[in-house]
Structure 1
Amino acid sequence: MELSLEELRRKKLTNLSQSPFQQTKFSITSSAEKIINLFSQFNKEELATKKQKVNIAGRILRIRSFGNLTFSNLVDQTGTIQLKVSKNKEFMGLDIGDIIGIKGTICKTDKGELSVEVEEFVLLSKCLKPLPDIHYGFNDTEERFRKRYLDFIINSENKKILITRHKIIQSIRQFLEQKEFIEIETPVLVSEASGAQAKPFITHHNKLHRNFYLRIATEIPLKTLLVGGFEKVYEIGRIFRNEGIDARHNPEFTTIEVYQAYENSEYMMNLTEEVFHYLSKKILKKEEIEFNSHVISLKNPFRKLSMIEAVKEHTGIDFSHINNLDKVLELAKKHNLKLEKFQKTIGHVILAFFEEFVEKKLVQPTFIYDYPIEVSPLAKSKLDNKNIADRFELYIGGLEFANGYSELNDPIEQKKRLEEQTKQKELGNEEIASFDKEFLEALEYGMPPAGGLGIGIDRLIMLFTGQNSIKEVIAFPQLKSKES
């Protein structure tokens, strides 16, 4: 009976004189990327003179033979390098996917391809299952995300996305470090789900005999740090929202929230633009990128438009001259906007018009400011109009990327706003945050005027890597169970 590919690999393992899984260490002196960067410019003769020795390790993804010569592609975290092997039966016994360490000399083949001529090799780990086809990949996209490790093995571009993600987060920290911000970690398990409008996950603490929420934002604890005397704070952290999964949303995602005392929303808007310019120059080395089938220009300055102006531009309706609720509701009905009970206010209708008719059309970077106060419970109102919040959001390619405002620091007004939010919850709005009494008490000790900013890291990575799905930029996205 013919053995399967997996059975053949296991048989090879049992026939080895020493198990590769007993290996604990291999001394590496270089990487694929370093070899390519340092030696690509030399020709065959020059490399033969140099006789540069290297130790590298990685996974074999291709093996092909030409007479007495065997060529193989070795892949490590940094890239791919070709191996050149002469008359070696043991090497030919290796399988695609095996992890090896090699000692060799850098050379170029007769065709001029940079290679490492193998002098010694050691099998460090045996790949017991055949890999998916390197050229065709996975037939099932969901399976590709479920077995992400295989995706990264056979698709180096997807691996590069996570490396770029690391560089972006590292650069954001460097940018804020230059401005003397302090990163402080805040709790993931919280007694109140506050700081955003979202449905939380609930968990139970056995020792304390009580339920906790997984945080839906880092805003509240960071603002209490302002009360405590910190003036420039931020956190890059995981956020959890018990909501839908699609190309733009994952229940577990990463944000950065930044707070600066004695500043306002205008300062935070400028800071947001600075971050995007800084990253485009440092990471992309260019100011134009492709995203969602559009060429996006990150050149400054970004466009600024009030929400009412944006709605007027795209619908012709000027809400600055309409203050009658019945007329507003009539307009909503005329434009087939479905409103929940809690949305039947002028501010909610304006937002509904914006989300339905404007949001997806904001392709080039655009700041939308002056949000209705009803949907901005933690922001200060404008001095000249108590119905408008001193708040902005940044839109690119039809997606929201940042949210910021002048922080409300009046405990009396904040209590009133939270009470109004509670009424919305009673009318069916499941995304209303908890009534956070502890935060109100903190405000009563005095919080300085401050500006706040939140940026979705995952969407930022989508933008900078040209990805249309959030799953591509998260190492392990949430998926439906296999059985469902």
Structure 2
Amino acid sequence: MTKLPNPIDEESTRLEKLKKLQSINLNPFPSWSGQTGAKRYLTQDLLTDFERLSQREERVTIAGRLKTIRAHGGSTFAHLEDASGQLQIYLKKDSVGDESYYLFQDTIDIGDFVYAEGTLTVTKRGEKTLLVQHWKFLVKALLPPPEKFHGLQDVEPRYRKRYLDLIANTESRRIADGRITLIKALREFFDAENFKEVETPILQPLYGGAAARPFKTHHHALDTDLYLRIAPELYLKRLLIGGFEKVYEIARCFRNEGIDHAHNPEFTQIEFYWAYANYEDLMVLTEKLFQYLLPRMGLSMQIEYQGVKIDFMPPFPRKTFRELLIEYGKIDIEEYPDAHALLHKAQTMHIEVTEHDGKGKILDELYKTLVRPHIVQPLFMINHPVELSPLAKRVESDPRYTERMQLLVAGGFELCNAFSELNDPLDQETRFKEQERLLEAGDEEAQRYDADFITALKHGMPPAAGLGMGIDRLTALLMNAPNLKEVILFPTLRPLA
């Protein structure tokens, strides 16, 4: 069996090299400066403009981390990596001088950061290369990068030490860059649609806007309990009341719930609200959004997620909540008008519900168990029962249901949740009181009664529609990542003992 190098021994060796640098008054951690006057390039820009720069023998500089080092007598080859890619550098004694060359050989390790200046050339093997004429230390790395030993493939260390994961795995960097592009594209789209980006409180005296258990904290100066927001919804609606007509927020939200492949307690979502629109308008805008996002991210309208082809070419089919339960669960919810009858039916179908659960909770579990796993291609599920939607307008032709839609895809992704917003303060007050009753009965996910929001509604909120979309889930889907921990740079993990 091959014995792997000992990282502790490696650190000791590197510390000795650090001391050697200090002994000759060479700072191994200098401030950045471009005192030579040569322009610093990204490696990808050099490769793109290689022919012109090499023909003109223009002096250029690059800076980054050394990924490989190969010494051959009086010459040394190395690969230097920056944020854009890699480029080979080539040091010769007769180009940099004996002292500089042997300093490189004696003190440099893989993982160190260096600054290199020179001209571009092509080696005998045909590799584009920087012929170094001057170099300097930028950072002496005291620990080796993971690939120096056995790479970084185990999932848990990758999440706990994301900095090493990003060094070792190009796929992790691809996903991180994809998320950045996605958020930028979302802003581009909503700005172009004349929505205004706003900010609302993260610390709130009352949590609301979603069914979830909150995180609670205490503000000492005010001597009051506050909650980390579970959604920005009620504050964004206050802005509609105040006169804004199109607003959006890219919001960090927090829910004190379980962690799995599709849930993280701290997550990012975009919510937007649109006055003088309804949920029909939202479905059209959502289809338009995907027509913009996918090409913007370099994707076609047909993507692959975990081996399954998914077609985002609109229009997406629409089916009601009731129709889907009939189709996949063989249950017509209109035959079970009260919670007791529905509970009995759900229990006979081995759905995990209890007598303490309200009708909304039972309906939700029926949907999650019987319907959601079967939806693969994009589908708008519409017209949810009112018990599931305390903030949505009722369907005028049948007030048992609401003008609500969710975009479902890939056997479990709920990409967005949206509805025509309830703006009747009396109806909203009745629904809040029902939520309070459920909270007192033990439902920790029930919403709170927000008297200030009711007062705000009494001043009048224009007819409007609103939508929330989880950016983590959307990133996972578009980047073909199997779980949210792959797309959140620093996911929530249990602390090590």
Report the equivalent of 1:378: 391
Provide the rounded CA distance (Å) in 2 between the counterparts of 1:193 and 1:48. 61
> Does the 8 Å CA contact 1:227/1:443 hold for their aligned counterparts?
yes
Provide the rounded CA distance (Å) in 1 between the counterparts of 2:354 and 2:286. 33
Q: Which stretch of the first structure deviates more once superposed, 214-223 or 237-246?
A: 237-246
> Does the 8 Å CA contact 1:308/1:350 hold for their aligned counterparts?
no
Report the equivalent of 2:13: 8
> Does the 8 Å CA contact 2:119/2:130 hold for their aligned counterparts?
yes
* Post-superposition offset of 1:339: 1.3
Provide the rounded CA distance (Å) in 2 between the counterparts of 1:481 and 1:194. 29
Report the equivalent of 1:73: 79
* Post-superposition offset of 1:23: 2.9
Report the equivalent of 2:170: 156
* Post-superposition offset of 1:67: 4.5
* Post-superposition offset of 1:433: 2.1
Letter paired with 1:71 = F
> Does the 8 Å CA contact 1:47/1:108 hold for their aligned counterparts?
no
> Does the 8 Å CA contact 2:343/2:354 hold for their aligned counterparts?
no
Q: Which runs of 5+ in 1 are unaligned?
A: none
Report the equivalent of 1:110: 124
**Structure 1 runs of 4+ off > 6 angstroms?**
none
> Does the 8 Å CA contact 2:391/2:428 hold for their aligned counterparts?
yes
2:230 matched to 1:224? no
2:289 matched to 1:281? no
* Post-superposition offset of 1:166: 1.3
Number of residue pairs matched? 476
Report the equivalent of 1:365: 378
2:88 matched to 1:60? no
- The change in CA–CA distance for 1:467 and 1:118 in structure 2 (over 3 A counts) is same
Provide the rounded CA distance (Å) in 1 between the counterparts of 2:306 and 2:349. 27
Provide the rounded CA distance (Å) in 1 between the counterparts of 2:323 and 2:123. 64
* Post-superposition offset of 1:162: 1.6
% identical aligned pairs: 39
* Post-superposition offset of 1:268: 1.1
SS of the aligned residue for 1:36 comes to helix
Letter paired with 1:278 = Y
Q: Compute the TM-score of the two structures, normalised by the length of structure 1.
A: 0.94
SS of the aligned residue for 1:4 comes to helix
Provide the rounded CA distance (Å) in 2 between the counterparts of 1:244 and 1:301. 34
* Post-superposition offset of 1:160: 2.4
- Out of 283, 304, 322, which is 1:308 matched to? 322
Q: Compute the TM-score of the two structures, normalised by the length of structure 2.
A: 0.91
* Post-superposition offset of 1:49: 3.0
Q: Which runs of 5+ in 2 are unaligned?
A: 1-5, 94-100
Letter paired with 1:59 = R
Letter paired with 1:12 = K
Letter paired with 2:31 = Q
- Out of 351, 359, 368, which is 1:355 matched to? 368
2:55 matched to 1:49? yes
- Out of 8, 17, 27, which is 1:19 matched to? 27
Provide the rounded CA distance (Å) in 1 between the counterparts of 2:333 and 2:267. 35
SS of the aligned residue for 2:250 comes to strand
Letter paired with 1:7 = S
Provide the rounded CA distance (Å) in 2 between the counterparts of 1:152 and 1:412. 53
* Post-superposition offset of 1:378: 0.4
- The change in CA–CA distance for 1:26 and 1:9 in structure 2 (over 3 A counts) is farther
SS of the aligned residue for 2:117 comes to strand
* Post-superposition offset of 1:61: 1.2
- The change in CA–CA distance for 1:342 and 1:372 in structure 2 (over 3 A counts) is farther
CA RMSD after TM alignment = 2.0
> Does the 8 Å CA contact 1:105/1:116 hold for their aligned counterparts?
yes
* Post-superposition offset of 1:221: 0.5
Superposed CA deviations along residues 349-393 of structure 1, whole A, max 9, x for unmatched, are 443221101112211111111111111100011001111111011
2:240 matched to 1:235? no
Report the equivalent of 2:465: 451
> Does the 8 Å CA contact 2:212/2:446 hold for their aligned counterparts?
yes
Provide the rounded CA distance (Å) in 1 between the counterparts of 2:477 and 2:418. 19
- The change in CA–CA distance for 1:453 and 1:324 in structure 2 (over 3 A counts) is closer
- Out of 303, 311, 336, which is 1:297 matched to? 311
> Does the 8 Å CA contact 1:258/1:453 hold for their aligned counterparts?
yes
